[in-house]
């Protein structure tokens, strides 16, 4: 064991030895007879990752990751080990495209349903993946050596899939390019193969979902927040989609809900700004989620666009699965009787996720504002499912999203005027499939019109003594009027009160006008909570209970995860600070009034402690905070008022 000194180094040597043994056993024929042997190797491998010496030496801080990341023997054996896990599942991964290609079952299919083996294998895999993910944390940018930072960059081959004309790497600056490429390849393949293995294991069936989900949630969910778009997109396609598709109904709470909550929180936080800046400024200004890109400015811009598009398509593909018929057998048709979300959720994954507010704040930025035809086509089943749920449950929150965000975006989608940011970006990304996607999106708009607006328009026609129009004709007229209004808004100049040094954007103003009434309602609701200090409303549950029932019903606020509740919590924190300040000011004023009326009058030469004693006898304080208010009042009276009035208050 030359070169190995100390407990941690011995553990590293043992890990390499056990990994090589596992790989060798996997290479031997007749593997069905060696299940017990493989398990006996997985047990100590898992144990190594739990040792305090291992954690202290290699995992406790990001700068210590390099002890493993730069160890070629360790990385090579881990790479082969994870590959052997994939072989056990009888599948290969095509790394260049992210697609899965299932092969026929191997001779070890007899123990694919072994929960013990699955638990051991997946536990080790999750620990390895978490270790790899740690190399992408924020701190790693400063703590890891240059060779690892270079290895984390997108390879030329990866960039070539987005931009075929790109064929250059950044300058080596003395860094070993061959070794950088080897480390980068291993990092990428360990990660993607690991994702694929988990997805393939989900196809095993119920035995997979009977495993302890807490380890998966901790290892996978904790790492989502700092994943780059490209990483998380592959994670969605290779792991999330198989997990969602195969998860039994009774396991949704332990698996699907917790995984998707973190994913959609990530999307809510990053998609809005990425697409907002891309549509209106031409750059998706979320550099932390692109990785350290390199190259000329024009190619960087193209690469950012492609990365955002690819990630949006991955999310839309997941949304299509969430809305699939197989997972939503209980989703009512548009003409079915009304129902409640809780009863629908028993046989509809969409209903279940909405019941638990898994999606956070719905926004069309989650779908790329329909800019990309491929993402749009993937997301269409999800939109139709939302409409069916909104109609079946009379859910006000869904209805407002459909009418105030989805429908206006559909109108902008069909607008060809150059004033629209969506229209400009769509023209840059146009493709041969655009016509079919446009027809389908317009049909979606017609469905929304039929459900929510046609009867309203018909009543208006009757009131005007005008012949009632068919739904199709009514939609065409309504749609054309909306386009005219959109063009009118685009033609307006900035109002006089708009700051001269700022750039006027009519689309921002139009979106603000739609959102402003909702914001004012939230503000009014918080403004009525003058008892916020006594009721301790900063506690989320207390705030939820305190809301006006009509307000809660209107916006379907039924859990702490509702986005409006998060906004109102921030409003309430500002209100609490204001109430505390005003209360403190009022109490100090009361104390000052008492000091003014004290007999004998206060003199500048009086001892503050004596003044406090007199004030306390006069006030008989009831509050624990009174002493602080009184001290401030005494300080003001002696140091300011007494100076102004020659030592006497009158």
pLDDT digits (tens, 9 = 90+) for 394-421: 888 888 889 988 999 999 888 877 677 7
pLDDT digits (tens, 9 = 90+) for 471-502: 888 888 888 998 888 888 888 888 888 887 87
Tokens of 550: 């009509």
Query: What does the radius of gyration of the chain's CA atoms come to, in whole angstroms?
Result: 32
How high is the pLDDT of residue 308? 92
How high is the pLDDT of residue 436? 61
pLDDT digits (tens, 9 = 90+) for 211-228: 888 888 877 788 888 888
Please count the other Cβ atoms lying within 10 Å of the Cβ belonging to residue 99.
Answer: 10
Residue with the bigger pLDDT between 608 and 549: it is 549
How high is the pLDDT of residue 269? 83
Cβ neighbours for 83, distance < 8 A, ≥ 6 positions apart: 189, 193
Among the ranges given (270-274, 521-525, 530-534, 571-575), the one the predictor scored with the smallest mean pLDDT:
530-534
Among the ranges given (162-171, 321-330, 566-575), the one the predictor scored with the smallest mean pLDDT:
162-171
Measuring CA to CA, how many Å separate 288 from each of 137, 228, 291, 292? 10, 7, 6, 8
Residue with the bigger pLDDT between 229 and 298: it is 229
DSSP string, 277-329: HHHHHSS---GGGT-S--S-HHHHHHHHHHHHHHHHHHHHHHHHHHT-GGG-T
Measuring CA to CA, how many Å separate 376 from each of 109, 273, 410, 566? 39, 19, 11, 29
The number of CA neighbours under 13 Å toward the Cβ of 407 is 22
Angstrom distance (rounded) from CA 373 to CA 438:
8
pLDDT digits (tens, 9 = 90+) for 585-606: 887 777 777 777 777 776 666 6
How high is the pLDDT of residue 70? 92
How high is the pLDDT of residue 443? 92
Instruction: Tell me which range, 177-186, 195-204, 236-245, 530-539, is most confidently predicted by mean pLDDT.
Output: 236-245
For 551-561, give one letter per residue: b (16+ CB within 10 A) or e. Answer: ebeebbbbeeb
Inform me whether the pLDDT recorded for 89 exceeds 70: no
Measuring CA to CA, how many Å separate 170 from each of 6, 155, 173, 285, 293? 38, 10, 9, 22, 10
Inform me whether the pLDDT recorded for 95 exceeds 80: no
Angstrom distance (rounded) from CA 234 to CA 63:
26
Tokens of 384: 């139709």
Q: Residue 523 — very low, low, confident or very high, per pLDDT cuts 50/70/90?
A: very high
How high is the pLDDT of residue 357? 82
The chain-wide mean pLDDT, for the chain, equals: 81
Packing angle of the helix pair 35-50, 115-133 (nearest 10 deg): 40
How high is the pLDDT of residue 189? 95
pLDDT digits (tens, 9 = 90+) for 249-281: 999 998 998 889 889 988 888 888 889 888 888
DSSP state of 495: P
Distance from CA of residue 506 to its chain's centroid? 28
How high is the pLDDT of residue 55? 92
pLDDT digits (tens, 9 = 90+) for 443-461: 999 999 998 887 765 544 4
Q: Would you put residue 259 in left (φ > 0), alpha (ψ -120 to 50) or beta?
A: alpha
Distance from CA of residue 199 to its chain's centroid? 21
- Mean pLDDT score, 84-94: 64
Residue carrying structure tokens 């990630």: 311
Closest by alpha carbon to 81, among 129, 115, 136?
Answer: 129
How high is the pLDDT of residue 186? 94
Q: Are 65 and 131 in contact (CB under 8 A)?
A: yes
Cβ neighbours for 41, distance < 8 A, ≥ 6 positions apart: 18, 21, 22, 25
Closest by alpha carbon to 481, among 437, 399, 383, 415?
Answer: 415
How high is the pLDDT of residue 285? 79
Tokens of 253: 């709470």
Inform me whether the pLDDT recorded for 93 exceeds 60: no
DSSP string, 495-520: PTTS-TTSPP-HHHHHHHHHHHHHHH
How high is the pLDDT of residue 132? 93
Among the ranges given (4-8, 550-554, 561-565), the one the predictor scored with the smallest mean pLDDT:
4-8
Q: Are 73 and 186 in contact (CB under 8 A)?
A: no
Angstrom distance (rounded) from CA 571 to CA 558:
19
Omega of the bond prior to 600 within 30 degrees of 0, cis? Answer: yes
Instruction: Tell me which range, 91-100, 163-172, 294-303, 317-326, is most confidently predicted by mean pLDDT.
Output: 317-326
Instruction: Tell me which range, 173-177, 402-406, 554-558, 599-603, is most confidently predicted by mean pLDDT.
Output: 402-406
Q: Are 403 and 446 in contact (CB under 8 A)?
A: no
Angstrom distance (rounded) from CA 98 to CA 190:
14
Q: Where would I find the H helices in 394-433? A: 396-401, 407-414, 421-428
pLDDT digits (tens, 9 = 90+) for 20-59: 999 999 888 765 567 788 889 999 999 999 999 999 999 9
- Mean pLDDT score, 66-73: 93
Inform me whether the pLDDT recorded for 240 exceeds 50: yes
Q: Residue 97 — very low, low, confident or very high, per pLDDT cuts 50/70/90?
A: very low
Strand partners, 94: 99
Distance from CA of residue 122 to its chain's centroid? 25
Distance from CA of residue 583 to its chain's centroid? 39
Inform me whether the pLDDT recorded for 245 exceeds 90: yes
Q: Are 492 and 506 in contact (CB under 8 A)?
A: yes
How high is the pLDDT of residue 433? 54
DSSP string, 114-181: -HHHHHHHHHHHHHHHHHHHGGGSTTHHHHS-HHHHHHHSPPHHHHHHH-TT-------TT--HHHHH
């Amino acid at each position: 064991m030359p070169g190995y000194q100390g407990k941690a180094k011995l553990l590293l040597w043992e890990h390499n030895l056990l990994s090589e043994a596992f790989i060798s056993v996997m290479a031997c024929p007749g593997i069905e007879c060696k299940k017990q042997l493989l398990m006996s190797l997985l047990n100590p491998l898992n144990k190594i990752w739990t040792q305090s010496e291992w954690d202290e030496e290699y995992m406790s801080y990001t700068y210590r990751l390099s002890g493993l990341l730069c160890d070629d023997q360790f990385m090579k054996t881990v790479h082969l080990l994870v590959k052997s896990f994939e072989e056990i599942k009888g599948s290969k991964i095509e790394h260049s495209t992210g697609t899965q290609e299932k092969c026929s079952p191997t001779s070890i299919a007899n123990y694919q349903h072994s929960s013990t083996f699955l638990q051991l294998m997946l536990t080790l895999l999750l620990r390895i993946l978490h270790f790899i993910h740690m190399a992408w944390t924020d701190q790693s940018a400063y703590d890891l050596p240059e060779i690892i930072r270079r290895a984390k960059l997108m390879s030329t081959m990866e960039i070539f899939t987005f931009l075929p004309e790109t064929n250059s790497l950044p300058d080596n600056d003395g860094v070993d390019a061959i070794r950088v490429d080897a480390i980068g390849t291993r990092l990428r393949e360990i990660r993607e193969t690991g994702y694929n293995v988990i997805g393939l294991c989900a196809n095993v069936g119920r035995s997979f979902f009977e495993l302890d989900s807490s380890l998966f949630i901790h290892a996978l969910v904790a790492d989502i927040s700092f994943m780059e778009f490209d990483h998380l997109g592959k994670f969605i396609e290779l792991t999330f989609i198989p997990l969602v598709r195969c998860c039994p109904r009774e396991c949704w709470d332990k698996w699907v809900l917790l995984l998707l909550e973190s994913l959609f929180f990530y999307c809510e936080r990053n998609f809005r700004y990425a697409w907002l800046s891309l549509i209106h400024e031409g750059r998706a200004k979320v550099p932390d989620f692109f990785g350290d890109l390199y190259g000329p400015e024009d190619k960087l811009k193209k690469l950012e666009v492609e990365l955002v598009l690819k990630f949006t398509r991955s999310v839309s593909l997941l949304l299509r699965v969430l809305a699939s018929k197989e997972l939503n057998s209980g989703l009512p048709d548009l003409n079915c009787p009304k129902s409640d979300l809780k009863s629908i959720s028993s046989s509809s994954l969409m209903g279940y996720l909405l019941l638990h507010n898994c999606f956070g704040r719905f926004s069309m930025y989650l779908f790329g504002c329909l800019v990309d035809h491929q993402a749009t086509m993937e997301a269409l089943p999800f939109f139709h499912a939302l409409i069916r749920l909104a109609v079946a449950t009379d859910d006000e929150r869904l209805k407002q999203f459909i009418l105030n965000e989805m429908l206006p975006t559909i109108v902008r989608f069909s607008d060809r005027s150059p004033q629209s940011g969506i229209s400009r970006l769509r023209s840059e990304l146009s493709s041969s499939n655009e016509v079919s996607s446009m027809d389908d999106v317009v049909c979606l708009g017609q469905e929304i019109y039929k459900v929510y607006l046609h009867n309203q328009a018909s009543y208006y026609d009757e009131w005007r003594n005008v012949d009632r129009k068919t739904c199709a004709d009514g939609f065409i007229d309504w749609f054309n009027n909306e386009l005219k209004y959109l063009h009118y808004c685009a033609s307006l100049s900035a109002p006089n009160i708009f700051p001269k040094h700022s750039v006027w954007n009519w689309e921002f103003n139009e979106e603000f006008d739609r959102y402003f009434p909702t914001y004012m309602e939230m503000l009014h609701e918080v403004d009525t909570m003058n008892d916020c200090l006594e009721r301790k409303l900063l506690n989320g549950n207390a705030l939820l209970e305190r809301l006006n029932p009509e307000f809660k019903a209107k916006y379907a606020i039924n859990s702490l995860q509702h986005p409006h509740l998060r906004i109102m919590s921030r409003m309430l924190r500002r209100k609490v600070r204001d109430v505390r300040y005003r209360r403190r000011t009022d109490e100090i004023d009361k104390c000052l009034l008492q000091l003014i009326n004290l007999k004998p009058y206060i003199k500048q030469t009086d001892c503050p402690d004596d003044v406090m004693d007199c004030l306390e006898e006069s006030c008989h304080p009831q509050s624990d905070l009174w002493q602080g208010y009184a001290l401030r009042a005494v300080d003001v009276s002696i140091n300011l008022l007494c100076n102004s009035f020659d030592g006497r208050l009158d």
